Amino acid sequence: MTVAVRVPEELSARIPVEQRGAGLDRDAVRLLVSRGCEVSHQAFVELPRLLRAGDLLVVNTSTTLAAAVDGRAGHARVVVHFSARGDDGRWAVELRDPDGKGTTRARAGGPAGMEVRLPGGARLVLEEPLSAHGDRLWWARASGAGVLGMLREHGRPIRYSYTERDQPLSVYQTVFALPCADGAGSAEMPSAARPFTARLVAELVSRGVQFAPVTLHTGVASAEVHEPPYPERFSVPEASARLINAVRAGDGRVVAVGTTAVRAVESAAEPDGVVRARAGWTDLVVTPERGVRVVDGLLTGLHEPEASHLLMLEAIAGRAAIDHSYKAALHGLYLWHEFGDVHLILPEEAPHTEHCFSNCW
C-alpha cells in the first residue's frame, strides 16, 4: 500500500458539487494545499491567490466520451466500457456485469473469440488481452455500426458504484475540453480540471497565470483493481512545449492540472527536462524512482490509497509529504473521487530546518 490510510465510504462524493445546494457552481469544492508537510485548508475559488504571475497551468483538453454501452454476450447482459481506439482500428474494451443498481461490477475477461452484440447492429469480437499481466481489458474488433456513432446514440458516461445516479455527459466535460477531429476522447473524465469555471480561468489570466494545453485520452480505471496505467494516446503541441520551456527558464512554476497532464508533458520531456512537441502513445509510469523532469506542482483529486497515481504524487512531493497531506484530508473530511475535493501540491517556499517524516501529522 502506498499510503497507509483507509477512506471511509461516506467520504465518496456521490453527486457533483453544483447539485448539492442552490447557487453552487463547479468551483465550490474544497482545496487542500500542501507544501512539503505544511498543509492548509482553502476553497478552490482561492486558487488565483495561491498562484503567482508567471506560473503556468498545464491542462488536458481531452473530451469525455459516453463510453459505456449495454450489450449481450450469448444470453448474458453485459456492459462494455470502451477504453481506447488502437491504430489498427481495434478498440480496447472492458466487459462488466450490470449490478442491478445502475452501475457495474467486475467480470472475468475473454475468452478470445467471444462475441458481444451491441445496439444498432454492431458486434464486438474479443481477440486478445491488452496486457500480458492481466485479462481485464481486451483488444476487440467491431463490425456493423461505427463505434463512435453508436456511443453518441446509445452510450452513457462510465459510472461507478459510489455515485448516486446517472448524470448527463455534460457533467463530465471540463471547461478545457476541445473535440478532436477524429472523434477521439477519454473513457473517463480528466477530473482534476472539473472545478474550473470560465470565470475562474478569466481571473487567473488577469493575474498573469498562463495556460498550456496538452491532450491525453484517458482509458478506463477500475474501482476494484488498482493497476499501473495502460498506454494512452497523447499530444503536446509545439506552442505548449515552447511555453513550458520558457516558464522553466524563468521564475515561474509549472503546475500540471491532473495526473493525465503530468503523464503527457513528462512523456514529451528529454532527460534534461526540455519539452519537445510530441504525439503518439505513452506507456510512461511516473514513479519516485523515475522522478519528474518538468512539473513543479500538481493540482489533482484525492486518490485511493492503493492507486498507482499516488506514486506520481510521491515523485513530485515525496512519500512523507503525501502521507501527511492524506491524513490531513481524512481528518478534514475531504471528499474523494471525480466529483470530490482537490489537492494542490506546491514546492516548499523556503528550506526548513526540520525534516518532514511520515509521522509528522
Q: What is the DSSP string of 126-192?
A: EEEEEETTEEEEEEEEEESS-HHHHHHHH-B----TTSSS---GGGG--TT----TT---BSS--GG
* CA distance linking residue 242 with residue 151, whole number of Å: 36
Mean pLDDT of 92-103: 90
Mean pLDDT of 106-111: 83
Q: What is the pLDDT of residue 142?
A: 92
Confidence of residue 221 (pLDDT cuts 50, 70, 90): confident
97, β-bridge pairs: 105
Mean pLDDT of 172-187: 95
CA distances from 252 to 53, 78, 141, 200, 248 (A): 8, 49, 46, 20, 6
Q: What is the pLDDT of residue 223?
A: 45
Give pLDDT tens digits for 8-51. Answer: 899 999 999 999 999 999 999 999 999 998 999 999 999 999 99
Mean pLDDT of 256-280: 97
Lowest mean pLDDT among 239-253, 257-271, 296-310: 296-310
Mean pLDDT of 213-223: 86
Checking if the pLDDT of 198 tops 80, the result is: yes
Q: What is the pLDDT of residue 118?
A: 95
* CA distance linking residue 257 with residue 194, whole number of Å: 10
- Identity of the amino acid at 101: K
Confidence of residue 7 (pLDDT cuts 50, 70, 90): confident
Lowest mean pLDDT among 101-105, 242-246, 341-345: 101-105
Confidence of residue 361 (pLDDT cuts 50, 70, 90): very low
Position of cell 520531456?
Answer: 269
Position of cell 527536462?
Answer: 273
Strongest mean pLDDT among 5-19, 51-65, 130-144: 51-65
Q: What is the pLDDT of residue 303?
A: 82
Checking if the pLDDT of 230 tops 80, the result is: yes
* CA distance linking residue 295 with residue 278, whole number of Å: 17
Confidence of residue 355 (pLDDT cuts 50, 70, 90): very low
* CA distance linking residue 183 with residue 82, whole number of Å: 13
Tell whether the torsion through CA atoms of 47, 48, 49 and 53 is positive or negative. positive
pLDDT, mean over the chain: 91
Lowest mean pLDDT among 61-65, 110-114, 167-171, 344-348: 110-114
CA distances from 74 to 82, 108, 111, 218, 264 (A): 19, 15, 13, 30, 39
Instruction: Please report how the helices 309-317 and 319-331 are oriented relative to each other, as an axis angle in degrees rounded to 10.
Output: 110
Confidence of residue 224 (pLDDT cuts 50, 70, 90): very low
Mean pLDDT of 315-320: 92
Checking if the pLDDT of 226 tops 70, the result is: no
